[in-house]
Amino acid sequence: MTLTVKQIHWLSGALLMMAFLWFGALNIFAAQASGIIDYADETGVRGWAFNNTEADQPLEVKVVITNQASGQTADELTTQASMYREDLAAQGLGSGNCGFDISVPWESYGEGAFLVETYAGGQRFSTKLYGKGIPAASQLRSLGVFRTTAYCPCRQCSGGWGGRTSTGTIAKANHTISVDPRVIPYGTRIMINGIIYTAEDRGGGVKGNHIDIFFNSHGETRSYGLRNVEAFLVQ
Ligand SMILES: [Zn+2]
């Protein structure tokens, strides 16, 4: 069979329309997942994910585990959120068949603290931290996007202060951040780019939604530059 130019025209138009409808449907789907991680502990990750579009159609949940010190992805696991839970039925989440419970081989990832993120329909719906020294109930709350810059003990970055912070501590890499204490009070733990920092310094140029991250050398501050990143409150 050969197609006339007119037929080809019509066919490509129809295909384009179908593609639009398909992507449109995906977008609607992506916006309709809700859920949470209830626990991340030594055995695994438990929670629920509800399909707001089709209540009894279980969602596939992707669990992404990232080493918080290195920022490297340790694992990506998938599971179906289709487990019955009475409490979920009581909350009016369909018939309550939207729980998930996935075992996680933490030992195989080595030492450290891990960021656990869950996705359904391409959308991240919950985040938790798990690891040594992190309470199981610890939860991250997004503070939104901050402007982040970097500084070091050199004269150009810190004047005559060197590594001394305004709270009297000695600044440490992967630990110290300089903040506007009116926005982030001293002592607050903030996760940026997978690393947990403590707000313990301030600088004249750090105002509002701006965080200055401490590094050991000026070279590192240069390569960090300026980045707009999501900051999380570690509770
Ligand atoms: Zn410097």
pLDDT tens for 66-115 read: 887 777 899 999 999 999 999 999 988 899 999 999 999 998 998 888 88
* 207 alpha carbon – ligand 1 mean position (Å): 19
* 209 alpha carbon – ligand 1 mean position (Å): 21
* 191 alpha carbon – ligand 1 mean position (Å): 22
* 212 alpha carbon – ligand 1 mean position (Å): 12
* 152 alpha carbon – ligand 1 mean position (Å): 4
Q: What strand order describes the sheet that includes 113-120?
A: 73-81, 59-67, 113-120, 123-131
Dist CA 3 CA 133 (whole Å): 68
* 2 alpha carbon – ligand 1 mean position (Å): 69
* 188 alpha carbon – ligand 1 mean position (Å): 24
The residues, any chain, with a CB within 8 Å of residue 118's CB and separated by 6 or more, are 35, 37, 45, 47, 49, 61, 62, 63, 64, 124, 125, 126, 127
CATH no. of 33-130: 2.60.40
Dist CA 90 CA 101 (whole Å): 19
pLDDT of residue 197: 93
Stretch 132-137: mean pLDDT? 56
* 189 alpha carbon – ligand 1 mean position (Å): 23
* 222 alpha carbon – ligand 1 mean position (Å): 8
Dist CA 41 CA 139 (whole Å): 12
Dist CA 166 CA 214 (whole Å): 13
**Architecture in CATH of 137-234:** Beta Barrel (2.40)
Question: How far is CA 67 from its chain centroid?
Answer: 12
pLDDT tens for 171-182 read: 999 899 999 999
pLDDT of residue 78: 97
Name the 3-class secondary structure at 119: strand
pLDDT of residue 29: 43
Stretch 182-202: mean pLDDT? 92
DSSP string, 49-84: EEESSSTTSPEEEEEEEEETTT--EEEEEEEEE-EE
Which residues in the chain are classed under CATH 2.60.40?
Answer: 33-130
* 201 alpha carbon – ligand 1 mean position (Å): 15
